[in-house]
Chains A and B, each alone.
Chain A
Amino acid sequence: MSAHGASSAQSPLLTRVSAAVGLAVVFALLLAVQRVTPHFEGPATLIAAVGFLLLGGMLAAQLLEAIGLPHLTAYILVGVIAGPHVLHLVDHEAVRQLAPVNTLALALIALSGGAELRTALLIPLRRSLGYATLAHSVFGTLAMSCVFIGHSRALPFAREQPLPALCGIAALWGVLSVSRSPSATLGILAQVRPDGPLSRFALAFVMSSDIAVAILMTLTITLVRPLVDPISGIALSDLAELGHEILGSITLGGTIGLLLAIYLRLVSGQLLLILIALGFGLTEGLRYLHFDPLLTFLMAGFVVENMSEQGPKLLHAVEQTGNVVYVVFFATAGAHLDLSLLARLWPIALGLATGRVVVTIIGHRVGSRLANDEPIVRRWGWAPLISQAGLTLGLSAVIERAFPSFGTAFRSLVIATVAINEMVGPVLFKLSLDRTGESGRADLTRAGTS
């Protein structure tokens, strides 16, 4: 065992047997304790849940790696199985109390996402990114709105709406559909360590599309409000608030990035504590200021990477902290999946998810042809765009607050669809990286240059 790499490792078979035995022991221990004290309530449940999700996720990932499943899917599966809808080893209350882990994880994801966006990577891709953003934002949103209208007869909250309101709701669905999952993308990239045109495109597009989706969503909410609620008008103040949020987040993120770069250069120790303090403390401050944490951390990481030489140090520290945090984050996301809701809505959710895959493929092909992308990107570039997770759920919560008349039912449908995309997306992305031969190439490139 070493801090950075491998040493005297045992055989993969023995490692998997150990992981299987360990997983069985962990499950057995928690099941036994639950049988002995079924009525216990208190912080111990939460502590055991975190330990279980961390350990179970890690061991399940080792086991499922043998059949080519991504680690992330294994984490989610463990969460689903242990969660309140299956074995009930992790209850609803524990899942709710684990929300701070999500805060920290999202901060780390955004920070490392920003640090991965090197200008040297973005400049050659600017044409691809521009056309892809245009294709998905315009064609993707419109096409998914049509898909939603096509399904509206099966949706109680939509079928009784007058046509203008239905169009408004469909537009919201359309924008939500073009949101991606930065966490899933980074999770897969961290696991398979790829290098090549596909992984570069995926990283750059998924990270930059966050900003586009945030702007598009605010615009759409502002524009569809009069359609859904005829007595309300278009509030331009919403646009001003959006401008304040984006500019403020970018400015503050840049400042934090500079400070972080100075710290990394002059001190650089105890980075774990610094990252935890930033993840929790700064996110709280950003919420108070109505700035976007994702954009702020993204900018901070971007500045550290592109305006200093401290990027690799930051990425290494985030990777070390993230290894633990991401497992709990994705396993909690799995435990959070409402399986009973999915069981009720699965035919519609499946229809919408399938429609989204088709629209994403077509949108990508169009954008890719216009940008004259490399054949690998043209063929497989849609695969990283299928995953959806926290960002989409967060946006659906915004819609629920903005449109209380249908927001709750709308959000339930979003959750059911995200559940499918969350399970299928990472598998498709990993498959595409394996097929294109990009998996593991980052290590080879690094070894070649050192």
Chain B
Amino acid sequence: MNEMALLLGLLVVSYFGSVLLSAGGRRNYGSPAGSHWLVLGFILGPHVLGVAPRGAISSFGPLALVATAWVALVLGMEYGHSGNRRLSLRAFVTGFVAALVSAGLVGLAVYAVAFWLLKVKADDARVLAAGLGLAGCETARQGVRWVVERGAVRGSSLTLLEEIADTDEIVPLLGLAFLFAGVPSALALVPISHAGWLAITLLLGFVLGLTSAMLLSGVTAATDAWSVLLGIALLGTGIAWRLSISPLTALFVMGMCVSVGSRHALELRPLLARTEAAVLLPTLLLAGASLRFDVAPASWWLLGLTLIVRTLVRACIGYVLALATGAQAGKRWPLGLGLSCTGAVSVLVGLTFAFRFPGFVGNLVLTVAACNAVLGDLLGPAGLRRALVPAEVAPASPTPSPS
């Protein structure tokens, strides 16, 4: 398959993503967080069928880079809102703490094993621990929504889960900024400290966001708004990448600034949200095709360790939250498992790592992110359904296939 064929394939996937989204309503097909697109990409990729060769996939790197940053912009625009409702401070704190604890504990376990047992170099072990901690510390909004569509009982547990899913992506996105700032570009002529690069990342997002908000205030047509947002997003992504700082964070901050500072924010939010699936699905497919399992044996240990530790940590966090919300005893562990549902943000973090740290570290973070997403899609919704859906509510029947 040449690059043109791959592009057309991605456009077809994007088309279906848009169709599924515009159809609205409940989704009766596929996994909640879209991990089946990852699997499909992996099957079509060089490891299995080889339909999409590695050369063709690499040539789409810039496109994937732009797509990840665009999704971060959309997340920034929606951050702190559930629809048009503002989330409470409690939601922010809970989401932030839950994700931070998850990333911290997984990172610590990975660092300990990588550095002490597998003798990975300290620098690599640090980056690896941070990457594996961040790639899976958030909860997929789609996972919770998926169960809600299947008759979840509205109560304090569900509200808390929804709020966590709507707020916890700030940890991996800010974590990336912190991590990338610690590994500055070798090409930069000006020596800047770790804190300096971190400030530059946030400042870049802030300046881009303010500029967007200012320009959008003079915009009278939707097409001009697209030009402004697309132009600034591309410029920001290119600049961030050139400086080796996190483009995801810069665009996320930009999105938040536009959301707060633009008088058109209410109209822009749904407009941008509509692009999410169309951009995300081909990116997931590309991420699946970019997976590389042919790396050092140490990576298998770290992969297994991360999956187990993450699932346990997420289950424990869920258990504690279930206790706090007064959930019934039999539903606490399933609710904990429900928190293991992760998706887009994790894969985007993995993909960004694969671009920023090509080789062992990048490949492993992307692989773990993909495995987290698949495992989360298997465990998460099952746990949530046991915890939140009453037994008498029958699960939705799948859409009949046109046979």
Identify B218's interface contact among A7, A14, A37, A320, CB under 8 A: A14
A51: B residues at CB distance < 8 A: 230-238
B232: A residues at CB distance < 8 A: 51, 55
B243 engages A36 (CB within 8 Å):
yes
Contact A54-B234, Cβ < 8 Å, known A323-B223, A323-B227 = yes
B234 engages A58 (CB within 8 Å):
no
Contact A1-B237, Cβ < 8 Å, known A9-B220, A51-B232, A281-B7 = no
B278: A residues at CB distance < 8 A: 273
Separation in Å of the A348 CB from the closest CB of chain B?
A: 38
B239 engages A29 (CB within 8 Å):
yes
B227 engages A54 (CB within 8 Å):
yes
A36 engages B4 (CB within 8 Å):
no
Considering residues B66, B187, B225, B235, which has the most beta carbons from chain A within 10 angstroms of its beta carbon? Answer: B235
Q: Which residue of A lies closest to B222 (CB)?
A: A3
A273 engages B15 (CB within 8 Å):
yes
B218 engages A2 (CB within 8 Å):
no
A260: B residues at CB distance < 8 A: none
Identify B227's interface contact among A30, A319, A324, CB under 8 A: A324
**B112 in contact (CB, < 8 A):** no
User: B-facing mask of A9-44, CB < 8 A → 1, else 0?
Assistant: 110001100110110011001100101111110111
B215 engages A59 (CB within 8 Å):
yes
Contact A54-B224, Cβ < 8 Å, known A29-B235, A33-B239 = no
User: B-facing mask of A258-299, CB < 8 A → 1, else 0?
Assistant: 000000000001100110110011001000000000000000
**A156 in contact (CB, < 8 A):** no
Considering residues A55, A62, A324, which has the most beta carbons from chain B within 10 angstroms of its beta carbon? Answer: A55
- Within 39-53 of A, Cβ neighbours of B (below 8 Å) are at 39-40, 42-52
B360: A residues at CB distance < 8 A: none
User: A-facing mask of B199-230, CB < 8 A → 1, else 0?
Assistant: 00000100100010011111111111111101
A273 engages B235 (CB within 8 Å):
no
Identify A43's interface contact among B62, B221, B227, CB under 8 A: B62
**A446 in contact (CB, < 8 A):** no
**A448 in contact (CB, < 8 A):** no
Count residues of chain B with CB under 8 A from any CB of chain A.
Answer: 53
A276-B234 Cα distance, complex, nearest whole Å: 18
A269-B227 Cα distance, complex, nearest whole Å: 21
**B65 in contact (CB, < 8 A):** yes
A273: B residues at CB distance < 8 A: 11, 14-15, 18, 278
B18 engages A270 (CB within 8 Å):
yes
B207 engages A29 (CB within 8 Å):
yes
B218: A residues at CB distance < 8 A: 9-10, 14-15, 18-19, 62
Considering residues A35, A270, A320, which has the most beta carbons from chain B within 10 angstroms of its beta carbon? Answer: A270
A30 engages B230 (CB within 8 Å):
no
Separation in Å of the A15 CB from the closest CB of chain B?
A: 4
Contact A43-B228, Cβ < 8 Å, known A51-B235, A55-B235 = no
B242 engages A25 (CB within 8 Å):
no
A10: B residues at CB distance < 8 A: 217-218
A91-B10 Cα distance, complex, nearest whole Å: 28
Contact A26-B185, Cβ < 8 Å, known A15-B218, A323-B223 = no
Show 30 residue pairs from A and B whose CB-CB distance is below 8 angstroms, ordered by the A residue. Answer: A1-B264, A15-B218, A18-B218, A29-B204, A36-B190, A36-B243, A37-B242, A37-B243, A39-B187, A40-B185, A40-B242, A42-B242, A43-B61, A47-B62, A47-B241, A48-B235, A48-B242, A50-B234, A51-B234, A51-B235, A51-B236, A55-B228, A58-B228, A62-B218, A270-B18, A270-B22, A273-B18, A277-B11, A277-B12, A324-B227
List the 9 closest A-B pairs by CB distance, nearest first.
Answer: A48-B238, A51-B234, A55-B231, A51-B235, A15-B218, A44-B241, A47-B238, A43-B62, A6-B220
